[in-house]
Structure 1
Amino acid sequence: MFRHRQYDRSWFSLGFETLELIYHVAVRNMRKTHHNAVLGLVMAIIQSLLMLLVMYFMMSLFGMRRIAVRGDFMLYVMSGVFMFMTHIKAIGAVASADGPTSSMMMHAPMNPIISIMGAALGSLYQQTLAAAVILFVYHAAITPVTIDDPVGMMGMFLLSWFSGIGIGMIFLSAMPWQPEAVSIIKTLYQRINVLASGKMVLANNLPPNRRDWFDWNPLFHTIDQARGFVFLNYTPRYTSYDYAIWFALACILIGLMAEFFTRQHASASWNKRH
């Protein structure tokens, strides 16, 4: 009676069923931390706003306004903070998605890929709404916002999220083997990105020996490229969004292979006390 029955259906119908599952998983992930969905969205906005204000006052205090792009300094800070928050939130959401030993995997037709996609889309929805609300309030209440290339800027926003998915999948696949160690490494990576993302500096202004500190990070490339799309008088010369794309695809490929391997060997009894 409770068995999931398989019917002969078209790929179109199966696609809609998968999209429906992803939607419900995304909603479930958004309700994990807050039972009230509206409160969860408000908290996402507050977190982004607090990070924005901290970065604004920190850069003003240390005299870093003079190295920013000519234009709206708050928009310069936003371009870094929004990409950063989207990236690290995607990592956290995907890394904490339901794995192969989760009780959710016992319910057909649920599978880890749907869990990953649902977690990633839930994170993207929260961060997109937070960025949109903050930008609208700033535009309506303080000063009009002018973005040179909104489509390109949005592309970099999505690329920051996409690269976060790839890194998060690697953490997710390693989590069943050493949960405590992987959790520490994930948190450490997210904290390091506060500085390693380069959201407080411009790649064009960095000397080569300092730029080498950031070049490995895909978020550094997406933030710098985003500022090239946001500001008319800034053209990135030392970063490339191609690197971020290939980095994300490589991480996703590694994550998928590692997740498949983990799924074949993971056991719910690994972390049980004997």
Structure 2
Amino acid sequence: MKKYQTLLYYCYSYIAEAEQFAADHLKFCKSLGLVGRIIVADEGLNGTISGTPEACEAYMKAIHADERFAKTEFKIDDVEELSFLKMHCRYKSEIVHSGLRDTTIIDPNKQTGKHLEPVDFMKMKDEEDVVILDVRSNYEHNLGKFKNAVTLDIENFRDFPEQINQLAQYKDKKILTYCTGGIKCEKASALLLHHGFNNVYQLHGGIIKYGKEAGGKDFEGKCYVFDNRIAVDVNQVNPTVVSVCYNCGVTTPKMINCANPECNEHITQCDACGEQLQGCCSVACTTNPRKRPYDGTGYYVKVPQPVAVKG
């Protein structure tokens, strides 16, 4: 039995005085000995946390005991090591930044795509009138994606609204959206419906739940996760590697953050190039005086950028 667990979850549910809730919630998480990253907004919670099975169980019970979050679903992974080094719980304007100036035009509590359970998504994804749409960022789908999925050239999810016009050719199709855990699809599918796409669906629980409940069939490559594991295996049925090294082009399943904290680019990189470039994405980044030591993992705690001093 592995020593720790990592929980991935979200819940769209209005939180009054959310900024104070975030401060109190941070203290609660620390009291349980948890580490992780939680975003709190007026619209709800979005978190990944890690701790002992006992601490994780206590956390889930506390969340479910709050009527606002009673329906929260947790994706649970057993892990050998804690998936974070510290505990962060921060208040932000949205739990997923949509890039919309007027965020009131979409509300996941009022309208989203039809939720498909993993086994139903698996059955439906290969139908002729279906388009599988990846709503994640470039670095995520470069590491792994569903076979035949449509991907968008976006650096962050906040760029998604600007790309919707490129999807106009699929308006008469059934659109099956997916993301890591389901949270981005809640807003992406709502936005597609707002723009006149009528047959919009979303993979309930995302790639992670699909791997656990449907064996991950036809998900090619690995799934990027937002903790120090960086990437996890999903496909237990017909696994393959689709990502290539950013530097030399050889096939590799490994993703890193550039060791230069002022770059911090997410790239796929083979071990040979990682050693040669000391975990950097380029020779130029190896010369940065703030370059972080490369330990082979490519995961680093965020380093604050220096503040410019005005003369």
TM-score (norm 1): 0.26
For CA contacts below 8 A with separation 6 or more, give which structure has more relative contact order. 1
Normalized per residue, which structure has more helix? 1
Normalized per residue, which structure has more strand? 2
